[in-house]
Structure formats: structure tokens, C-alpha cells
Amino acid sequence: MDSNGIAEKQGLEGDGDLQFLMNGGDLLKVRSGSWKKTRYYKLQEDCKTMWHESKKTLKSKQTFSVEDIDEVRTGRQTESLRKYTEESVEGRAFSILFKGRQKGLDLIASSEEEAKKWVGGLEKVISNIKNLTPQKKTEHWIYSCLRKADKNFDNKISQKEIKSFLRDINIEVSEDYGEMLFQKCDKSKCGFLEGKEIEHFYEILTQREEIDVIYEEYAKTDGLMSAADLLNFLLNEQKEDVSQNDALQLIEKYELDENAKAKQQMTKDGFLMYLHQPEGLISNLAHKSVYQDMNQPLNHYFISSSHNTYLLEDQLKGPSSTEAYIKALLKGCRCVELDCWDGSDGEPVIYHGYTLTSKVLFKDVIKAIQENAFKTSEYPLILSLENHCSVEQQKIMAQHLISILGSALITKPLGDQMPTCLPSPEELKGRFIVKGKRLDKLEDMFSESKTADEESVTEEEDDEGDEEDQEKKSSKTKSLKLAKELSDIVIYCKSVHFHGFEDSQDKQSFYEMASFKEGKAVKLAEESANDYIRHNIDKLSRIYPAGLRTDSSNYNPVPLWNAGCQIVALNFQTACPEMDLNRGLFLQNGQSGYNLKPSYLRDRDTKFDPITLPDGPWLKNKTLHVMVITAQQLPKVSERKSSIVDPVVKVQVYGVPADTTMVETQYIENNGFNPMWNENFQFDVRVPDLALVRFSIEDYDSSSNNEFIGQYTLPFNSLKNGYHHVPLLTKNGDHLSSAGLFVHIMVVDAE
């Protein structure tokens, strides 16, 4: 297939910007003040791979996939471009930022017009790839692989090339099966496939046996599905509360055949299209937008929170960057951490103190936060300050916060009177809240008394040494000089020490909050769960990882959520199952970063205890039936051409200890393209409100640990009954294009 054919499949044929990208051109690549080199870039014929080479050494050829691009940013909008280029190149500069940890490209075009063409063209290709239907994506990918397999470029595929192609798409077949498949398609008996024969081969390859069975069960109108047939499927299998009008809307929306659509019927292709769309995916569509009550006090919500947000890698020598804040904010994070230290030239910096992590200016971080804070969620952002600065530089911090964030910064309580509880996320939409030390009580803002310009306050035990270390330090209480200007903008999140639940109940105001190291928090959640829950009904609690986690690893957040802790801070930069759980919990409610806690975690008289599980409204005993049916187009985990995955599916339930469990399927040998399991599992879930379900696929290995392929985590209460596709995410949380799992779900009341 030629490039025009692929462009046509993307809906981009004849597009000037696309043609510009395919012709390619020179761009100046910027790495540092002294490393600026011209490189030649062009879009390859598959319309989804960028190729670049050095003018000097033609050997140096590299490619990257357009699907790996996270964002194309115009102007000097990265740290490197601001640092290493002049303002005069603003209109010619742009950056390509990648998903995961892949280093971005900072580029300068020869003119502003060319820069616009590069950016416009790339954005168009990215958008079109994203908007391709799943069937078109599959077709696009398979034809790209067929082109690659056609070694002599004669638009014909030999039997040998077919075997190579099948390996490319992650399936190993026996010699006999490969030959049978080839002979079945080689109608002309000339020893190779071309034209219609290749199309026939594609149809055999992409046939979904399991979809055929379901469709034929319900397609009772001349072999097609009428609106009544589709309604029958939606009511009986999907257990949806819908009418015939809803079925007609699905036909109108997803049927591809105009003749069938005119007769208000759905073909098999239309049915598969529907099953790939949001209505056919496993997660409740209603939960994709904000559906919870957002008018409760802030402490009644779980809040998506990041620890040491400035780090892109580990805690000892990794880079600090504004990009780390942007990434976290775009993932819906609503509490970021700023570790502030005195910098040179009177400008405070952010880095992990006493380590070799690089430094970034405080003001640059605040600017990046201001620009990106409300792109994913419009609800309030908490800026958690870990303050190690001198009084002078604290004043500068306050100036930057006030001047850059402007009226969006909370600098006094809402309303004219002293509040009695925290405001709601709804009342605080689009606002910034500073968490830190405060010299006086909030009540003093409403009295005539004045405070001194600066005072000493006890420093929060947030220096994250290990616990043994902390005990040694506790006898020597450190004090911190605090600037009044910084103290005055701490309104709703005043940092205080935790001295026990009784002390907190007697002395801690609603706007005062303690931070707990993970070890202490887990101990409280295990040994005094009900006390911790009651504490968290009135107060905010922040949990952070132990200092020994120098590799930026994470702890399991679920036991802390079970205890009602709101700000359970994780290392967002680390790809791990714990971050999958965080992503899964905050997938719901419009990815707002705020999830309303169940009523029994908001009731002052609650008897709930996740460990002992006494009788109460939290016990909603459910039985979850899961049938793992098939998977589609799983990526290879090894670069070796001959390496084919042996997929195994794990289904895990996380929640209260009594609900936490895991099952796994058998592994399927040498088939990542369309493995079929048809295995059934059953789970008893006592407290569904606090349960998360994680589907993961791994490449089975009998001699070492399995390798991760993809996963998807969602709240138990967001599961939909019936046949559904489960989208798969990479370790970094990006969608795996075309890959998916197909399952049947049934949730019933336990007998």
C-alpha cells in the first residue's frame, strides 16, 4: 500500500501540511547552549513514523512513532529552549514531547511559516490517528506490517513473507497452518498473494469468532440486528436500563453500512464498532463526567496527590523539572509538592535537599503550574510547600505566588466571617490553596490583634529520613523562621504535628492538617482504623512515602484510602501497580482528582472498621463473575523479531483486606494477536464502595518473572454488566493503540 492509500485511510489525502511533512526538511535541534545541530526530519510513508538523520553521518538514522508523541508545544515553552535560545526565535521554535520518560525534542525551523507547517502537520496526523476507528487502526497497522514484510516491494506477498509478517504482528503458527492459510487465499495458485487475495487474508486474520457467536445469537432479522434485536441484547446481556430509542441511536451512531442504517438495522461490523466505543467499554460512561456531589467540605473527598512532584526519576540524582509538574497536572493531580530551598541570586529553587538532584527555579515552577493547573480538572489545586528557605527568600516565594497566581490564589477565607468547616471543591473551582506553616490561628484574621513580622515555628517532620533516623532527631526540635508574607497566604491547609487522636480532637482546628510518613500511617490504619477514620472526617491528612524509597518506588495507597485519608501522595513519575490503582480510583468523576468518600467515611458516629468489618451499611455483599474471553493485538515485550508473547491474564480485586484477592488464566503459547481463554472466575466483594478491579496481561515466563504487557484498573462501582472491551494502558498510563481485552462481567447480590 502506498503513502496515498494510507493517507486516504487517515482522511488526509491531498492535505498540504501532510505533504510538507512527507517531503521533510531541516530543523535545528537544541540540546544545550553549545549543542545545536541541523537534522533532517520527514514523515515516512506509513504516515505515522517520523524519520531523522544527521547531515554529517548518513549512518545515523533514527525513527520515532507519531503515536508516542504526548504533545507538540509551540514557542520556547520548555526549560531548554528558554535557557539556551534567544527570544528572537520564539516564533520559529517548537518542542515535541513524548509519553513516558522519553526525552523530548527542542527544534527551531528556518522560518515562522515553516514552524507553523511542522506543528500544524504533526497535530493533524496525531489527531487523525487518535480519531481512527478501532477497525481502521487495525487495518492501518496490518497493512503497514504487510508493507514491511514485502521485502522486494512488488506489492505481492510470498508464503515466506507471510510467516515473517505473522511474527511481526505477534503470532507464531505451525508450518501446516501457515501453508493452509496461504493456500486458502491464493485463489490464482501462483505462489503469492496480491490485490483481493491480500484483502481476503486480512479478513480471515481479523475475524472475531467470539463476536460472530454473540451477534448471530441476537441477529434475528434476515441475518442482521434490527433495533428490537439490539434492544434485546442490551436488556438481556448488558443489563442496561434502555429503550428501543436508545438502540436506534446506537445504530445511527455506529452503523457503517448506509443501506442497513436506512433500514434501522445493525451489521456485524456496526456491532463490533459499537463494542469498541465508550458505550461498549467496561467502565460506566456516566462516570466519565463529574457525577458526584461536589458541595461537601474538602476533607470529605479523596484527592489525587503527588509526592516530590518536581522529580522526573529517582530521589538522589535525577532531574528536577517543570515538566514533571505539567505531566502530573495533566494526569488530574490536585495536590503537588514544592520542596523549597535558598537559591543563588536571591531566587528560591526547588530540588530534593542534600541530594544531587538538579534544581529548578521556584518562579518557573509556579508559572508552569499556573498555565497547566486547570486543563484536566477545574477543581482546586493544593500547593504543598516543604519550606527550607531563609526569611528573605520566603518573602520572594510569597511575592511570586501572589503575582503569578493573582486572584486565583486563596489569600483569605471565603465569606466575611470565620468559617467552621472547609469549603467545597465546587466553591473553590479554579483556585489555588497553599499548604504550609502559619504563624497564628486563622481566627486571628478576624480579630484586631497583630502578629510580629516574623516568628519561629516548629518545623514539620517532613524531612523524610527513615524512621530510626527520625527517632534520633525527635529529641532535637528544629525551628524555622517564617516570613509573615508567606504565613499569611496559608489559609485552609495549615501544617501541624500529629500528637495522637485525642490531642487532635481537643486542639486541632478544621483547617489544620498533619502529614504522616507511610509507616506510621499504615500502622494507624491497621491498629486504630476507626479512630483514624473519625479523625479524617473533620481534618485533612497527607501521607507521604518513606525516605528510604530513594528509587521513587511507591506504597499501596488502598489501606490509607480505607482509613479515610484524603491526600495519599505517590511518586507520579514512577510506573508501578500502585500508580495504576491511583489512576484507577481517579478515573471516575470526570478525572476531576476529587472522589467523594462513602457516607460511612464521612459520618462522625461511624462504626466502620476495614479490618474487623462489623455489621453496617458498608456491607453490600456482591458476587462478581468475570469471564476472560479474548485479547486483541497485544504488543511485543521483546525487540527480538522471533519473540512472540505467551499472554496470561490476571484479575485482581483491591479493597478491604477481606476483599483483596487475585486469580489468573492459563497462558496461551505464541499468540499475542488474538489469544482466546474463555475462563470463568468468581469474586465475593463485601465492601464494593472501596474496591478497585485491576485487569493485567503479562508475558508468561516459566524461568523468571513474567513481563508486563498492559493493564486497566477501575472502581468496582464503575463496572458494567455484559460483554465489554477493556482498554489497555502502558506502564506510564498511556493507551495501547488497538490492543484490548474482551470480557463478560456480571455483578449480582450475594446469596
* 301 appears as a binding residue in the annotation: no
* 694 appears as a binding residue in the annotation: no
* 55 appears as a binding residue in the annotation: yes
* 251 appears as a binding residue in the annotation: no
Q: What is the DSSP string of 306-328?
A: ESSTTBSS-SSSPPB-HHHHHHH
- Catalytic site includes residue 352: yes
HSE, side-chain direction, 13 A CA sphere, residue 152: 7
Q: What is the largest CA-CA distance in the chain?
A: 97
* 41 appears as a binding residue in the annotation: yes
* 622 appears as a binding residue in the annotation: no
437 φ, ψ (degrees, to nearest 5): -75, 150
* 565 appears as a binding residue in the annotation: no
* 471 appears as a binding residue in the annotation: no
What is the rounded distance in angstroms from the CA atom of residue 628 to the CA atom of residue 666?
A: 11
Q: Smallest Cα–Cα separation from 565: which of 595, 588, 533?
A: 533
Per the residue annotation, which of 300, 307, 400, 724 is the catalytic one?
307
* 699 appears as a binding residue in the annotation: yes
Q: Is the CB of residue 55 less than 8 Å from the CB of residue 68?
A: no
Cα 584 vs. chain centroid, distance in angstroms?
8
Q: Which residues pair with 517 in a beta bridge?
A: 544
What are the Cα distances from residue 502, in Å, to 225, 507, 531, 535?
65, 9, 9, 9
* 740 appears as a binding residue in the annotation: no
Residue with cell 438502540: 247
What is the rounded distance in angstroms from the CA atom of residue 613 to the CA atom of residue 689?
A: 13
Residue with cell 500547593: 383
Q: Smallest Cα–Cα separation from 130: which of 72, 69, 73?
A: 69
* 309 appears as a binding residue in the annotation: no
* 24 appears as a binding residue in the annotation: no
Q: The C-alpha cell of 40 is what?
A: 533532517
* 42 appears as a binding residue in the annotation: yes
* 37 appears as a binding residue in the annotation: yes
Would you mind telling me the total number of residues written for the chain in this entry?
751
* 712 appears as a binding residue in the annotation: no
Residue with cell 496461551: 668
* 700 appears as a binding residue in the annotation: yes
What is the rounded distance in angstroms from the CA atom of residue 443 to the CA atom of residue 430?
A: 25
Q: Is the CB of residue 261 less than 8 Å from the CB of residue 255?
A: yes
3-state secondary structure 282-294: CECHHHHCCCCCC
Return left, alpha or beta for 246; rule: phi > 0 is left, psi -120 to 50 is alpha, else beta. alpha
DSSP reduced 3-state for 177: helix
Q: Smallest Cα–Cα separation from 401: which of 483, 463, 489, 330?
A: 489
* 517 appears as a binding residue in the annotation: no
* 52 appears as a binding residue in the annotation: yes
* 671 appears as a binding residue in the annotation: no
- Catalytic site includes residue 735: no
What is the rounded distance in angstroms from the CA atom of residue 359 to the CA atom of residue 356?
A: 9
* 220 appears as a binding residue in the annotation: no
* 184 appears as a binding residue in the annotation: no
Q: Smallest Cα–Cα separation from 738: which of 653, 650, 674?
A: 674
* 35 appears as a binding residue in the annotation: yes
* 53 appears as a binding residue in the annotation: yes
* 670 appears as a binding residue in the annotation: yes
Cα 67 vs. chain centroid, distance in angstroms?
16
* 437 appears as a binding residue in the annotation: yes
* 654 appears as a binding residue in the annotation: no
* 440 appears as a binding residue in the annotation: no
Q: Is the CB of residue 404 less than 8 Å from the CB of residue 361?
A: no
Q: What is the DSSP string of 45-57?
A: TTSSEEEEEESS-
* 339 appears as a binding residue in the annotation: yes
Give, to the nearest 10 degrees, the angle between helix 244-254 and helix 227-236. 110
* 151 appears as a binding residue in the annotation: no
* 61 appears as a binding residue in the annotation: no
* 54 appears as a binding residue in the annotation: yes
Per the residue annotation, which of 140, 276, 287, 352 is the catalytic one?
352
Q: Is the CB of residue 193 less than 8 Å from the CB of residue 186?
A: yes
Q: Smallest Cα–Cα separation from 109: which of 38, 52, 53?
A: 38
Q: The C-alpha cell of 335 is what?
A: 495536590
* 697 appears as a binding residue in the annotation: no
What is the rounded distance in angstroms from the CA atom of residue 388 to the CA atom of residue 420?
A: 31
What is the rounded distance in angstroms from the CA atom of residue 295 to the CA atom of residue 139?
A: 47
Q: The C-alpha cell of 333 is what?
A: 493531580
* 33 appears as a binding residue in the annotation: yes
The catalytic residue positions are 307, 352
Residue numbers in the known binding site are 29-56, 308, 337, 339, 386, 435, 437, 515, 542, 644, 646, 670, 699-701
Residue numbers in the known binding site for substrate are 29-56, 435, 437, 515, 542
Residue numbers in the known binding site for Ca(2+) are 308, 337, 339, 386, 644, 646, 670, 699-701
